[in-house]
Amino acid sequence: MKRIAILGSTGSIGTQALEVIKANPDSFELEVITAHSNADLLIAQALAFKPNVVVIAREDLYEQVRDALQHEDIKVYAGANALNSVVEMSTVDMVLTAMVGYAGLQPTIRAIQAGKQIALANKETLVVAGQLITELAREKGVNIYPVDSEHSAIFQCLAGEFHNPIEKIILTASGGPFRGRKAEELRLVTKAQALKHPNWDMGAKITIDSASLMNKGLEVIEAKWLFGLRNDQIEVVVHPQSIIHSLVQFEDGSIKAQLGLPDMKLPIQYALGYPQRLKSDFPRFNFLDYPQLTFEQPDLKTFRNLQLAYNAMEQGGNMPCILNAANEVAVSAFLRDEVGFLEMSDIIESCMAKVMYIANPSYNDYVDTDREARLRALELVK
């Protein structure tokens, strides 16, 4: 029985993780759930699952959550300090980091320092501070189990192969809703169009990142740190059907792929249950339903964010932190209809050129870099 803390239980990954836990009562016990501001859903989840602890990050919502749960045997806390503290609880075995963006970095660090196993859905943690996180995990003997479907696929392909050197990995990308379109066609695309992903049901931020291919860029950087790869060992291929979730090529030329229908509950369950594969009732893939699986090169000129991510990874240091902070501001502005789809790349590129570069950043450098990049990006939005 693994006791689970879910950071970000009201988001897309968090809600699906709760479905996995509900379907496997003999394998998992829910200890902690947290949310940033969705108090109503957090309360409903707490009443349904009866965790030991609930945390609402926005302190102005504390009384609402506390009052709604006052007749339950559930501890209610609020604020960033509470979020960082609950991951250290002795009653927690594994922390699923399903928060969105940079906000997941500090609680993930605290969980690793406390020796908790990590199921990582917050890719920005490794994008921003990959070297710091992987070194800390190694020092504390903590395993990081990937939840992203692509990185879960790589992890599954490596089962039984950890002693065999990787020649390269191939991350697949659906291409998003605008696959095949050129820049002039993208200038006037709307938020509503960008939020219609062809294959996956995800939160707004990651859906926009998928439409711009920034999500794939972030995944490239995440893969470097998760699997200890050189920059030239990571390739991206557009695979519109989203059936092959990613592939590993070994030094003998053999390639392993992990396939399945696009359903995030499968990689969530694999990460939480590892090394066991727990039985599920998820829909099964049938080859006859997909007689053609196709592949294309990504268009790096039109979808500049993927190239910008590669550039940030090549430069290293705090550059991926700059990339991530500027992207979070740009996506938020796009979702508020304040910038156009292509302008997001302009904002990111400008921040990468103007924010101070640090080759060997400390944790405090990452904090300062994130703040500076956000301020510059906000100036560009205005």
Query: Is 71 flagged in the annotation as binding?
Result: no
Peptide bond into 283 cis (omega under 30): no
| Beta pairing partners, 169 | 234, 248
Which tokens go with 28? 């998992």
pLDDT given at position 198: 78
Cβ atoms of 311 and 114 within 8 Å: the answer is no
pLDDT in the model for residue 265: 97
Rounded CA gap, 256 and 259, in Å? 10
HSE (side-chain half, CA atoms, 13 Å) at 372: 19
Contact (CB, 8 A) for 209 and 331: yes
38 is in an annotated binding site: yes
Contact 67, 61 (CB under 8 A): no
> What does the longest C-alpha to C-alpha distance in the chain come to?
62
DSSP strand E in the chain: where? 2-7, 28-35, 53-56, 75-78, 94-97, 117-120, 144-146, 166-173, 234-238, 244-250, 255-259
Specify the pLDDT at position 29: 98
d(CA 363, CA 346): 27
Ligand-binding annotation for 27, yes or no, is no
Q: What pLDDT, on a 0 to 100 scale, did the predictor assign at position 235?
A: 98
DSSP string, 187-221: TT--HHHHT--SS----HHHHHHHHHTHHHHHHHH
Task: Report whether 11 belongs to an annotated binding site.
Answer: yes
* Residues of the chain where predicted confidence (pLDDT) is lower than 70: none
> What is the value of pTM for the model shown?
0.94
Q: Is 67 annotated as contributing to ligand binding?
A: no
Dump pLDDT digits (tens) for 12-36: 999 999 999 999 999 999 999 999 9
Q: Is 37 annotated as belonging to a binding site?
A: no
Per the annotation, does 174 bind a ligand?
yes
Whether 382 has a binding-site annotation, put simply, is: no
122 is in an annotated binding site: yes
Q: Is 125 annotated to bind ligand?
A: no
Task: Check whether 148 is labelled as a binding-site residue.
Answer: yes
Q: Does 149 carry a binding-site annotation?
A: yes
pLDDT at 203: 82
Q: Are the CB atoms for 93 and 2 separated by under 8 Å?
A: yes
- Whole-number pLDDT of residue 200: 75
CB atoms within 10 A of CB 254: 11
The mean pLDDT of the chain is 96
pLDDT for position 382: 82
The answer to whether 123 is annotated as binding is yes
- Distances 15 to 20, 35, 40, 76, 343 between C-alpha atoms, Å: 9, 11, 13, 19, 32
Q: What is the pLDDT of residues 75-128, one digit of tens each?
A: 999 999 999 999 999 999 999 999 988 889 999 999 999 999 999 999 999 999
- In the chain, CATH 3.40.50.720 covers 2-146
pLDDT at 197: 83
CATH superfamily of the domain spanning 2-146: NAD(P)-binding Rossmann-like Domain (3.40.50.720)
pLDDT in tens, 97-109: 999 888 899 999 9
Does 13 show up as a binding residue in the annotation? yes
Q: Which of 146, 94, 142 is closest to 266 using CA atoms?
A: 146
